[in-house]
Amino acid sequence: MSATHDTIMKALSAVILPNGQSLVDADLVRALRIGNGEVSFVLEAPDSVLAQSLGPVEEKARTILLALEGVSKVSIVTTAHGPAGSTPKPAAAGGEPPSLKIGRHPTPQQGKQGVPGVKHIIAIASGKGGVGKSTVSANLAVALAKQGRKVGLLDADIYGPSQPRMMGVNKRPASPDGQTIEPLHAHGVTLMSIGLMIPDGEAVVWRGPMLMGAMQQMLGQVAWGELDVLLIDMPPGTGDVQLTLGQKTELTGALVVSTPQDVALIDARRGISMFEKLNVPVLGLIENMSTYTCPNCGHEAHIFGHGGVADEAKKMDVPLLAQLPLALEARIAGDEGTPIAATDSPLAAPYANLARSLVMLGVA
């Protein structure tokens, strides 16, 4: 027998909060989803102090639900919907600094906002996944930093964060005061990844408003400092993160990455038209994996087709800012945490040119 909404809620009504109320009576359960033996929901506390004390409650709820017939996995995300950081959090046991919980309801906001101290914000997007958007973001950030720009890189890909690996960092950013988050630093770039703040698998239960809240925290509560440009590595496609960012953030513009394949281009077109609808200027298209030169014989092949991105750029009247080759060396460099742009390889040159173009355009 599989669990139903009613059986889950009934089981959760046996979980008692420190104030004596049950989880259900206190109305803290949100976004309950049941499917394939998995139960996921959000525990929404009214303030961050209560949210901090919910660890044992979360454990109890998990134990009770796992004992139900047909439930094999339970995912719970605890959030607070008071203004984030409005109540300083106590230091964790062992004197560690308190850590700031990411994922909350958004703070109401009038119109688009910038990030104090940050001159330009550029979204790096792609319609389709896996076309190299994160690779381009990491390398462009490093190339701009090498040219003396103060650069921030925000990995906003909540479902598949890859910047920690590509930039070679993997520690959870600290929040010494429980209100601001100290970003990390690598290869001359100030770095923050939303993925470093969310326990594995929890983001999948987030709804639009929670994502919006998390993005607000990433932009407003990270101590970015003075930056010439903040690059945002977006999730692929045209989902909630893209919409939130386009509607709520003063973006200088967007760069859209595509491979020359038709399927990638169709999705890239969709991405471009979304930015246009949101009044975000599309600064240009970037063609990734455009050519492959055989390291043995020097033969040049166009594995994913040829000319498609240039044609598309012409059709849509947006500049084609770079054509980046498919290269094993670039892939290995990314996997090992040192983007190819940080090295002396000839493959760093196209990124240096792209960085120069953006500086000349006055957007970075």
Any residues with CB less than 8 A from the CB of 105 and at least 6 apart, and which?
Answer: 44, 79, 81, 209, 210, 213
Instruction: For residue 259, state whether it binds ligand ATP (rule: CB under 6 A).
Output: no
| Stretch in the footprint of ligand ATP (CB under 6 A) among 47-55, 130-138, 148-156, 170-178 | 130-138
Judged by CB, which is closer to ligand ATP: 168, or 220? Answer: 168
Q: Binding site annotation covers 133?
A: yes
Judged by CB, which is closer to ligand ATP: 157, or 312? Answer: 157
Q: Binding site annotation covers 111?
A: no
Q: Of 83, 160, 208, 281, which lies in the binding site for ligand ATP, with binding defined by CB under 6 A? A: 160
Q: Of 118, 288, 338, 354, which lies in the binding site for ligand ATP, with binding defined by CB under 6 A? A: 288
Taking the complex as a whole, how short is the minimal distance between the CB of residue 305 and ligand ATP, in angstroms?
A: 15
Q: Of 131, 219, 272, 318, which lies in the binding site for ligand ATP, with binding defined by CB under 6 A? A: 131
Instruction: For residue 334, state whether it binds ligand ATP (rule: CB under 6 A).
Output: yes
Of residues 60, 104, 88, 249, the one with CA closest to residue 178: 88
Long-range contacts from 195-199, C-beta under 8 angstroms, 24+ separation:
195/155, 195/157, 195/158, 195/160, 195/161, 195/163, 195/164, 196/161, 196/164, 196/170, 196/171, 196/172, 197/100, 197/102, 197/172, 197/173, 198/102, 198/103, 198/158
CA gap 242, 21 in Å, rounded: 39
Q: Binding site annotation covers 128?
A: yes
Instruction: For residue 338, state whether it binds ligand ATP (rule: CB under 6 A).
Output: no
240: left (phi over 0), alpha (psi -120 to 50) or beta: alpha
Judged by CB, which is closer to ligand ATP: 251, or 322? Answer: 322
Binding residues for ATP: 127-134
- Chain residues in the site for ligand ATP (CB under 6 A): 126, 129-135, 157, 160, 162, 236, 288-289, 324, 326-327, 330-331, 334
